[in-house]
Amino acid sequence: MKINRGAIIKSVEQAFLRNDLPDFQPGDTVRVDYKVTEGARTRVQGFEGVVIAMNNRGTGKSFTVRKVAFNEGVERIFPFNTPLIDKVTVLERGKVRRAKLYYLRKLRGKAAKIKADRGRMAKATANAKAK
């Protein structure tokens, strides 16, 4: 009898998967509220920026958020299924034609601005009202 290790791993991982995060794509501006532990205290810290990449590999799924702070680009990779993410808020939906937006690293100022996707924004508000 052969043991299916993949099925066993998948069944164990099912308990840790999250489905409470909103639907977002690369190009969207999001605010990630992340739990930070400093000593004995835990607080929630916000990280607001543009999603430049999403890696969709099962439970190892993650997304990269980029922001510019004090004229320095800062990127942070967040795993989807971590309990440290308090919530993700989609602030603006972006209209892009690529899955990975690494070209934004070279751009500065207005050149790095992403156009808003009004159609997806309207659809998201209609879905929120319907719920």
**What is the distance of C-alpha 106 from the center of its chain?**
21
CATH assignment of 18-130, given 2.60.120.560, 2.30.30.790, 1.10.390.10, 1.10.3720.10? 2.30.30.790
- The pLDDT assigned to 130 comes to 78
Does residue 77 carry a pLDDT above 90?
yes
Element (H, E) at 130: helix 118-130
Q: What is the mean pLDDT of the chain?
A: 87
pTM above 0.85, yes or no: no
At 13, is the pLDDT very low, low, confident or very high (cuts 50, 70, 90)? confident
Does residue 121 carry a pLDDT above 80?
no
CA–CA–CA angle 59, 60, 63 (5° rounding)? 115
Q: What is the pLDDT of residues 45-73, one digit of tens each?
A: 999 999 999 988 777 889 999 999 998 89
